[in-house]
Amino acid sequence: SAHHVTALRGSFFDITAVTDCPETLADNARYLEDGLLVIEQGKIVRLSSWQEGVSRLPPGCELLDYRGKLIVPGFIDCHIHYPQTEMVAAYGEQLLQWLEQYTFPVESQYHCPQHAAAMSDFFLQQLLSNGTTTALVFGTVHPESVEALFSAAEQREMRLIAGKVMMDRNAPAALLETPEQSYQQSRALLQRWHNRGRLGYALTPRFAPTSSPALLEQVQRLREEFPDAWLHTHLSENPQEVAWVKALFPEHASYLDVYHHYQLTGKRSVFAHGLHLEEQEWRCLHHTDSAIAFCPTSNLFLGSGLFNLQRSWQEKVKIGIGTDIGAGTTFNLLQTLGEAYKVSQLQQYRLSACEAFYHASLGGARALDLDHLLGNFTPGKEADFVVLDPAVSPLQQLRMHNSTDIWQQLFVLMTLGDDRNIAQTWVNGKPAWRREEKENAA
């Protein structure tokens, strides 16, 4: 059949509208305990209650019964480094020493296409087995790294944004390039991969300390040539790093002002971290419509600081959630939301389950300027979603037994959940990953 229609019966949760105000999130939340999702050719046709939808199913449509499972939009990881998969859990250092001691040596291996291909496969399997269907991804300085990742993502039909790192100072020679090389290689990759299928290209200067003014000029030149490409970098993660930027760029008013001066702020600009921002930097992020990726496990692991989520709402700055593997310690967005809750607790802000799931889905999509395509079950959007098993361990089963509503269920999932809760991950309307059934399941 040319138009293959699939319908899934189960429980569904999503947030139906973007917002600038956390108080209105719950008003736009949709929970269907017995729901029916219809998909066709990779797109959402409709989500309704089972009662309403069942009579409208076309003859011959495939019906899958996932009663007892909770189906949510695919998770969106707004900041992650695929080459750092192999160095998660590197002991003892904060950002700048951690980069020198662990990160740069590992990234030096990605000139090798075979290594890059093997790690790309491993990385995408990790994303999918954790329910992540879209990510904004750092490669290394080597074009080979990004070539391998895009090829692997294309095979899986994933909506993925990535880019080659651009860097020309303050790192080992093997990882440096000239501004002209950086321009040429980034441009070639962008022309080959940007808007090819579901893929997108992000201009990826590592951060201000590894960028000369001449390199930043080349990034600006590319941004002017390709205004719909993304811009992905780091901002104000660690106090030593912030002081270093001030020393390297004394003529600029702030860390963000370095990027802003080269017109690298804007709608498709995503800045990882933003932990130590000054008043004027918040204002600049807002009026340029730039986004921040909040990476709680990374910020705690490197001892970088606490992201002020409440402030991001007050300043009307868009945010998404990032795992920031390998400074972050998990690929799993449920666990990452649990850590975001704890970071907020330390600042007297209550991160509700509703808000948390928003950031991991529609909010993240908006931060990436993809909310017209992703983030909920609105008809016409792309059919990327996760089938969650709400209780997979004795403790989760005990706790879920005492959870009377969806808010408690979601909060228990983000606090106790992990990859065992990801039963299936669907990408572009097709099952892309499925957890193996336990042999001795009770």
Q: By CB under 6 A, tell whether 324 contacts ligand GUN.
A: yes
Tokens 């293959």 label which residue?
Answer: 4
Which span sits near ligand GUN by CB under 6 A: 43-51, 95-103, 126-134, 402-410?
95-103
Tokens 């949510």 label which residue?
Answer: 72
Residue 198 interacting partner from Zn ion, ligand GUN, none (CB closer than 5 to 8 Å by kind): none
Among the listed residues 400, 365, 368, the one whose alpha carbon sits nearest the alpha carbon of residue 385: 365
Q: By CB under 6 A, tell whether 275 contacts ligand GUN.
A: no
Nearest residue (CB) to ligand GUN, 88 versus 373:
88
Q: By CB under 6 A, tell whether 298 contacts ligand GUN.
A: yes
* DSSP-derived 3-state class of residue 243: helix
Could you say which residues in the range 236-275 bind Zn ion, by CB under 5 A? 272
Candidates 144, 147, 168, 237; binder of ligand GUN (CB under 6 A) is 237
Q: Which residues pair with 62 in a beta bridge?
A: 6
Nearest residue (CB) to ligand GUN, 110 versus 385:
110
Q: How many CB atoms lie within 10 A of CB 442?
A: 5
C-alpha span between 159 and 427 (Å, rounded): 9
Q: Which residues pair with 163 in a beta bridge?
A: 138
Q: By CB under 5 A, tell whether 324 contacts Zn ion.
A: yes
CA–CA distances in Å: residue 381 to residues 223, 280, 329, 378, 385? 27, 36, 31, 6, 11
C-alpha span between 92 and 73 (Å, rounded): 36
Smallest distance from Zn ion to CB 76, Å = 16
Tokens 């509208």 label which residue?
Answer: 17
C-alpha span between 324 and 132 (Å, rounded): 13
Smallest distance from ligand GUN to CB 45, Å = 40
Q: By CB under 5 A, tell whether 281 contacts Zn ion.
A: no
Q: Which residues pair with 201 in a beta bridge?
A: 162
Residue 39 interacting partner from ligand GUN, Zn ion, none (CB closer than 5 to 8 Å by kind): none
DSSP 74: P
Q: By CB under 6 A, tell whether 206 contacts ligand GUN.
A: yes
Ramachandran sector of residue 131 (left: φ over 0; alpha: ψ -120 to 50; beta: rest):
left
Candidates 36, 44, 47, 81; binder of ligand GUN (CB under 6 A) is 81
Nearest residue (CB) to Zn ion, 318 versus 381:
318
Smallest distance from ligand GUN to CB 288, Å = 21
Q: By CB under 6 A, tell whether 77 contacts ligand GUN.
A: no
| Residue number, nearest CB to ligand GUN | 327
Binding site for Zn ion (CB under 5 A): 272, 324
Binding site for ligand GUN (CB under 6 A): 81, 95, 99, 103, 206-207, 234, 237, 298, 324, 327
